[in-house]
Amino acid sequence: MYWTNKLKMLWAGLLLVGSIQAQQVCVSTPGTSLVLSAPEGGELKYVYYGPKLAPADLEQLPAVEKALSAYPAYGLYPAQEAALAVEHGDGNLTLDLAVQRVSTQQEEKALLTVVELKDKVYPFYVNICYRAWQDADVIETWTEISHAEKKPVVLTRFDSGCLPIRRGEVWLSHLNGSWANESRLVEEPLLPGMKVIKNKDGTRNSHTSHAEVMLSLDGQPRENQGRVIGVALCYGGNYELRIDTQDDDYHRLFAGINPDNSYYKLAKGERFLTPALALTYSREGLSGSSRNFHRWARLHKLAHGTTPRKILLNSWEGVYFDINQEGMDQMMGDIASMGGELFVMDDGWFGDKYPRKTDNSSLGDWVVDKNKLPEGIEGLLADARKHGIKFGIWIEPEMANTTSELYEKHPEWVVKAPGRDLVLGRGGTQVVLDLSNPKVQDFVFKVVDDLMTAYPEIDYIKWDANMPIQNHGSNYLTMDKQSHLYIDYHKGFEAVCQRIRQKYPDLTIQACASGGGRANYGILPYFDEFWVSDNTDALQRIYMQWGTSYFFPAIAMASHISAAPNHQTFRVIPLKYRIDVAMSGRLGMEIQPKNMTEEEKALCKKAIEEYKMIRPVVQLGDIYRLVSPYDKLGVASLMYVSEAKEKAVFYWWKTEHFVNQHLPRVTMAGLQPDKSYRIRELNRIDNEPLAFEGKVFTGAYLMEQGLEIPYNHRVDYHKQNDYSSRVLYLEEVK
């Protein structure tokens, strides 16, 4: 297998070199090709993106495919939308970029192609980079911008890439929402004009929209059929995606850092790197594009992406800020008794001069409140050892409160426009620390470093970020570079994350940002998972986790069993349903065992045991979404299938309840047609097993016919309710 892969990569490299000589560049993954025209001294142009091309077809492309600007720059044709715009030191606003040379470099798992461009008049340079992964069908593209002009050049637009898309019946799928309602799916046809998806939060970027989209080329999107292009901007800060449709035959997608109030003064010899724009293509519908993203993420864009995650209990919804030693010990014992593997102590454990009792004080003062925890972190770690589980802790190191010792010592460290009053956030006192400042970067790193140095047994950190940038300004940046704040903040954040990962490579870190505010591939290389939403309501989570799964794998999606009534929606949902939803992501618990009946504890304990069995399939398998909750058919269903297709987990949730209801019979996907699978229901509460319990069916039957799922649970009369859900485990019978 090693030499087979090496030969494939060598062939791809030879094809590239041959193509360069013919002024054609082919960037290929195992299943896709991106073809560019790169004549020396001429404009770099896009020719093709889609299924991998045979050499014979590649030769014919110049005669049959229209070539379009691959990275249009503003100036000579100002009526067209631009990916790059600048102001030279002499005031000239134009660029005319020409290809100088093309090079290719073999990396460990990828081929890197670099097309070097130079302005025909000015010493202004743009390298357009393409990384083609050879173990995943994803191509990443980004630009490196520099110059040798005497005066600084002002960058006013700096997209990561541009992709022309042939017009037809093209539909756009993207995510929308708000706090506690993140990642809601929106599907719409692309029409003439400009479609803009953007973020200007400053610190987080995925509450209200996402920097990832899918484009269905064959009409209204389908999950497992049709041609789909997936796009993901790998950036943690402000972004802007534009799809421009004018009077020709193409839509043009542009994606990059949001330039609004972020014009960048580039000094001579300085290099400006744009974030990577990831592209994937599938002929197997939306789910096919998702599978490509998920594999790429697990292998390359997610910390410890191939290591199964632990099952945890978090303290937040159990006690909120009311942290104490005895309560934490009890929670550890409770989750250990149920088979859990990790306990995470959330907000409320810190503060000396200003103890953290509510959300209006103490951020920045990362010392243990000895009144709450007289034995300190050492005592908590001893309790964790006693119960045979791991211990995790909550921090919010990018933020402070004005009521804190940190702010009293360093008021100049916070984000604040010079000469303006503070704009305060959560609790009426929260502020954002200015990560453009190297001293602040050192402080944020030290928060983690001090904890891990003093308590190396800490296994997990929940890293929160509960405030946007409210008051644009920096006491560190000079006045002529105030527009660099948004960009330099995230440069600083990434620098801190890199230092943490270099020193603590085995630490598990969750990205929490007022819930799902940091679901993006800009920060995930440094984080193991993200908190999907502060809303743990199981019914609403089906919709949010469905949208999230378009771009992010289950191993990254923290999904917890909540209490009833739910703390956000106050909806009362049966425990079985809550468990079945949580088991479709990285399973955890917010519900506190001490508040549960013995019957509920037994059901959760059984669920944890069964999740451990299916964990490799759910967290590392391929997703197949089957029936969308957004189709309003009264049911939602998806499944995960192992790479070898010998195991699968099928989920079915009823989303509406009516008398004389008629739900669709769900057919499965992703199985091997000629393999036989035994069916087993997990988390069963029915008095009688399902008709197909223990039965064996071929993959062909399950994918063509499916199984008839009862609409309601067959339980005692006093246990009946309007919710119904099923989790089926499929295992190959040889």
Residue 68 carries which side chain, given as an amino acid letter?
Answer: L
Is the CB of residue 652 less than 8 Å from the CB of residue 637? Answer: yes
Q: Would you state the pLDDT for residue 23? A: 86
Residue ranges of the chain with per-residue pLDDT less than 50:
1-22
Residue labelled with tokens 């995470």: 344
Alpha-carbon distance values, 17 to 14, 55, 575 (Å): 5, 13, 60
Dist CA 431 CA 179 (whole Å): 19
pLDDT at 341: 98
Does residue 516 contact residue 557 with C-beta atoms inside 8 Å? Answer: no
Per-residue pLDDT, 367? 98
- 199's tokens: 């973020």
Q: In order of start, what are the domains of the chain with their CATH numbers?
A: 72-301 (2.70.98.60), 312-534 (3.20.20.70), 624-733 (2.60.40.1180)
DSSP code at position 300: I
Within 10 Å of residue 191's Cβ, how many Cβ atoms? 11
Residue 275 one-letter amino acid: P
Please report the pLDDT score of residue 17 as a whole number: 39
Burial of 347 (0-12, 13-18, 19+ CB in 10 A): buried
Number of neighbouring beta carbons within 10 Å of residue 660: 4
pLDDT tens string 216-257: 999 999 999 999 999 999 999 999 999 999 999 999 999 999
For 268-296, b/e burial (b = at least 16 CB within 10 A) is eeeebebbbbbbbbbebbbbbbbbbbbbb
pLDDT digits (tens, 9 = 90+) for 513-558: 999 999 999 999 999 999 999 999 999 999 999 999 999 999 999 9
Type of residue at 706: G
Burial-class residue 314 by CB neighbours within 10 Å (0-12, 13-18, 19+).
buried
| Contact between 384 and 432 (Cβ < 8 Å) | no
How is 20-31 classified by DSSP, letter by letter? HHTTEEEEE-SS
